[in-house]
Amino acid sequence: MRPKNLEKEAAIRTMALQIIAEEGLENLSMQKLAKAANVSPRTIYIKYENKEDFLVKLFIEEVLGSYEKAIVENFNPDIGFTEGVKKIWLNAFQYLKNNKPAFALIQYGKSSPLLNRAYQQKGIKEGDYFSSIHYFLKRNIDAGIIKDFPHDVLRALLYPPLLELVNEYFDYEERPQQIITEEMILQCCEAVIKGILR
């Protein structure tokens, strides 16, 4: 890709994340994005099929790697299950509350049928990301500490409650008192952990 095209691509992504942060994902249109990035809508549609395709690729290319890096920061997959899950939750909470566009894209990615297709196009397989967490869960299953559920089931039990709490965190930003604190995150995490332990 030529340097000028790379600059346009960077501008498009930067402006998309800015619009999502300031106005919400639902207010991002390709026309608005093109105007903000100072490119024609046609420039965007050369690389992306439609808005959904753009959002999924934006998630994979701009969020997935930084989200993984944040979650596994100072995470040791050989620590105890309770301590490990708490570390994952706190890391994720810190990252997401400070990266509202990333949170919006993660939420969107969960509901988009295009995400699996995008993973296939990019050659992303289960375990390519969050490998230390995969190892951590398998080690705890093998040791008989947690129930022997498939990885996708464990993910469904462990992470959606956290994402809902982050959603509440953003809702409470407009209210007089924030109820979603680190202490609340840890209390909720303990409740989730109890349901997974053998």
User: Is the pLDDT reported for residue 15 higher than 70?
Assistant: yes
- Which pLDDT does position 90 carry in this prediction? 98
72-83 pLDDT, tens per residue?
A: 999 999 999 999
CATH number reported for the structural domain that contains residue 35 in this entry: 1.10.10.60
The pLDDT of residue 62: 86
Residues 152 and 190 in one domain: yes
The reported pLDDT for the residue numbered 106 is 87
Helix, strand and coil content of the chain, in percent to the nearest 5, comes to 75, 0, 25
**Do 42 and 82 belong together in one domain?**
no
> Do 115 and 172 belong to one domain?
yes
CA distance 21 to 57: 17
Do 25 and 81 reside in the same domain of the chain? Answer: no
pLDDT for position 2: 54
Residue 54 lies in a domain: no
The residue among 66, 162, 53, 47 whose CA lies nearest residue 112 is 53
Verify that 74 and 41 share a domain, yes or no. no
Q: Are residues 32 and 72 in the same domain?
A: no
CB-based contact 132:80 (threshold 8 Å): no
| DSSP letters for 161-175 | HHHHHHHHHHHHTTS
Residue type at position 175: R
- For residue 5, name the pLDDT band (cuts at 50, 70, 90): confident
Domain CATH code at residue 119: 1.10.357.10
DSSP assignment of 102-121 equals: HHHHHHHHHH-THHHHHHHH
Euclidean distance between CA atoms 123 and 73, whole angstroms: 25
**Cα gap 104→30, rounded to integer Å:** 17
> Is 14 within the bounds of a domain?
yes
Domain assignment present for 56: no
Residue 142, pLDDT score? 97
Asked if residue 57 belongs to a domain, the reply is no
41 and 125 fall within a common domain: no
Indicate whether 185 pLDDT > 90.
yes
CB atoms under 10 Å from CB of 92, counted, come to 21
User: CA distances (Å), 74 to each of 26, 69, 78, in order?
Assistant: 34, 10, 12
Give the model confidence (pLDDT) of 37-71 as tens digits: 999 999 999 889 899 889 888 888 888 889 999 99
Tell me 140's DSSP state.
Answer: H
pLDDT (average), residues 27-36? 93
121 and 39 co-located in one domain? no
- Is pTM, for the whole model, over 0.85? yes
Q: Do 107 and 36 share a structural domain?
A: no
Q: 192 and 103: one domain?
A: yes
CA distance 100 to 124: 24
Number of domains in the chain: 2
What is the CB neighbour count within 10 angstroms for residue 36?
16
pLDDT (tens digit per residue) in 129-145: 899 999 999 999 999 99
Cα–Cα distance for residue pair 117/75, rounded to 1 Å: 30
Give the range of the structural domain holding residue 125, as residue numbers without chain letter: 62-196
